[in-house]
Amino acid sequence: MSKYQKELHDIRKPLNTISMQAELIRMLIEPLSNSGLPNEKLDTAALKIIAAAKECSEQLQDLFEEINNDQSNQSH
């Protein structure tokens, strides 16, 4: 594993934590909707966090694949 591959892997860990915590927020506010309390803003915020984390993860995957391709091309 190259230095860049390790760094990309290390970046994914906190990104996954962010995404998982946003999912937890959504699960915790779900029962509030049954009580009539306003939670739409919390749900919207959590969905935005999840979407941003997913986009970031996809960009990291693209970068990871580009690095792998570059390394493969250099070894041939």
| pLDDT tens digits for range 26-74 | 888 887 767 766 678 888 888 999 999 999 999 999 988 988 888 888 8
pLDDT reported for residue 36? 67
**∠ at Cα 22 (58, 17), nearest 5°?**
60
Q: What is the rounded distance in angstroms from the CA atom of residue 2 to the CA atom of residue 53?
A: 24
- pLDDT score recorded for residue 7: 86
pTM of the model: 0.73
Please report the pLDDT score of residue 74 as a whole number. 83
Domain ranges of the chain: 3-75
Q: For tokens 């230095």, what's the residue?
A: 3
**Beta carbons of 22 and 42 less than 8 angstroms apart:** no
- Rounded to an integer, what is the distance from CA 28 to the centroid of its chain? 19
